[in-house]
Amino acid sequence: MTRILKTLPVAAALALTVSLAQAAALPIDFGGYFRSGFGTSSEGGKEACFGLAGAGSKYRLGNECETYGELAFGGEAFKGENGFNIRINTRLAFVLQQNKDFEQYSPAWREANAIAENIGTGAFSKAKAWVGKRFYDRQDVHITDYYYWDNSGPGAGLENIDLGGAKLAYAIVRNAYTNESSPTANDDKRTVLTHDIRFSEIKTNKDGALTVGVEFMQKRDAAGATMSTPGGVVSASTPSGNLLTLLHTQTGLFGGYNKLALQHGTGSGAGTGGVNFGANKDDKVTRITEQIMFQPAGTKWSGMGTFVYEKAETSTGDKTWISAGVRPVYHFADNMSLATELGYDQVKPDGQATRKLTKLTIAPQLTAGNGFWSRPALRAFYTYAKWNDAAQTAANVGSSLSRTGVFGATTNGSTVGFQVETWW
C-alpha cells in the first residue's frame, strides 16, 4: 500500500496530461530518453563512476552509475490559417540509483511550455513565440554529456525572426536560487532575470555558420535573501553578470560536423549559460569547447572527439580545466559495433597540485542501425581509470576516488557491466 500511495502523484500527473489532451482532441506525441544498466567494480560492490574534482564533465561511455530517463508528451493544440499553430510540450524526468527493483524517486517537470509558430508576416512569417518552462537551445558535447551553453528554465521569448543575413532570437528566463541539500524559506528570494539575445545562421563559408549570443543577467533579489553555509544561514546577494558566446558550426565534414564555441562570462554569467548563483561580481570564466562528429561515407567508422579549455578566475582562487577525448566506433557487422572511448581530464587550481584522471572504455554494442547516433544501443563495457594522488585528495568524501571510497589508497580501478541507452 505504501508503494502505491507514493506513486500516486506521478500517476495522477500523467493521467491529467492524457485527460486534458483527450478533452481538447489533441493527438499526443510521445518521445523521451533513458539509460539504465548495472555493473560491478574491481574492488567489489556496484559499479563506480570516474570523475575528476573540479572538472565540468566526465567521459560517459561505461561511466554512468544511475538510471536516468525523460518522458516527453506534447502535440499540436491549435491549427489556424496561414500556417499559424500552437504546440504544447511537457517533459517529466527521473533519476534512480540502480540499487534494487523498487526505488523511490522524485520526478522533475523539466519542461512545460507552449509555442506559437508562424506568428506573423514578413520577418515574422516563420517566427515563433513561446512561454513556459523550456530547454532553451541547449548546446552540448554528447560523449561527455557536457552542456556548455544552457540557459534553460521558466521564461518567454521570440525566435526565428528573419533579418535576411541572420535569424534573431530573444528570450527572458527567470531562475531562483535553491539549496537542495539544506533549503531555507528565503532561498527563492535570490532571483535573476537573464536577457538572452542570439543571432544565428550567419553565413561564414561553405557549409559554415556562426551564432553570436549575448546574455545579460539582471539581479532581482528580494529583501531578506539568504544562503546556507557550513557556518549557518547568512545574508546573500547575487551579482549581475553577462556571458558572450561565439559558436561556429561546420557541416558536411567527414560525414558529420564540427562545432567550435568561444565563451567569456563575468559575475553570475561566469558559468555555462545559466545563472551561477555562487559567483562574486568579479568572477570570470573563459572557455573554448571543440567537438567533431565524423562518419565518413564508404567506411565502417564513426565517432566523436572533443577538447575543452576553461580558465576560471574567482575570489577563492583561479582554476584551469583541460579535457581531451575521443570515442571511435567500428561497425563490423549489421547492427553490431565496437565503441572505444579514451578521455583525459586535468584540473590545476592555483597553489595546489595538478589533478589528473585518464579513463578508457571498451564496449561491444548491438544497435538499431549502423550510425553513431543509432539507438537503442545495448552495450557490455569494461572501463579502466587511473588518477594521481592530487585527484584522490581532492575527491569528495564518498567518491569512489577518495581514500574512503571503494578503491581505498589505490590510484587506479576498473568496472565491468551492461547498459542500454535509447531515445525516441
In whole angstroms, give the CA distance from residue 261 to residue 318: 21
Supply the DSSP string of 287-327, one letter for each residue: EEEEEEEE--TTSSEEEEEEEEEEEEEETTEEEEEEEEEEE
Tell how strand 29-41 and strand 284-294 pair up: unpaired
CA angle 393, 396, 397 (to 5 degrees): 100
Residue 144: DSSP 8-state: G
Please give the grid coordinates belonging to residue 47: 559499479
SS3 207: coil
Helical segments of 259-345, H only: none
Residue 60: DSSP 8-state: -
CA angle 219, 222, 226 (to 5 degrees): 95
Q: What is the pLDDT of residue 306?
A: 98
Q: Is the CB of residue 147 less than 8 Å from the CB of residue 156?
A: no
In whole angstroms, give the CA distance from residue 277 to residue 271: 9
Per-residue pLDDT of the chain (424 residues; tens, 9 = 90+): 444 434 445 555 555 555 555 555 568 999 999 999 999 999 999 999 999 999 999 999 999 999 999 999 999 999 998 899 999 999 999 999 999 999 988 899 999 999 999 999 999 999 999 999 999 999 999 999 999 999 999 999 999 999 999 999 999 999 998 877 767 777 778 899 999 999 999 999 999 999 999 999 999 988 877 766 666 666 778 899 999 999 999 999 999 999 999 999 999 999 999 999 989 999 999 999 999 999 999 999 999 999 999 999 998 899 999 999 999 999 999 999 999 999 999 999 999 999 999 999 999 999 999 999 999 999 999 999 999 999 999 998 778 898 888 999 999 999 999 999 999 9
Global model pTM greater than 0.75: yes
In whole angstroms, give the CA distance from residue 124 to residue 107: 37
Q: What is the pLDDT of residue 22?
A: 53
Q: Where are the beta strands (DSSP E) in 206-255?
A: 208-219, 226-229, 232-235, 241-253
Q: Is the CB of residue 309 less than 8 Å from the CB of residue 287?
A: yes
Please give the grid coordinates belonging to residue 251: 557541416
Which 3-state string (H, E, C) describes 332-352?
EECCEEEEEEEEEEEEEECCC
* H-helix or E-strand spanning residue 263: strand 256-267
135 C-beta neighbours (distance < 10 Å), count = 16
Q: Where are the beta strands (DSSP E) in 54-120?
A: 67-79, 85-96, 108-117
In whole angstroms, give the CA distance from residue 273 to residue 194: 9
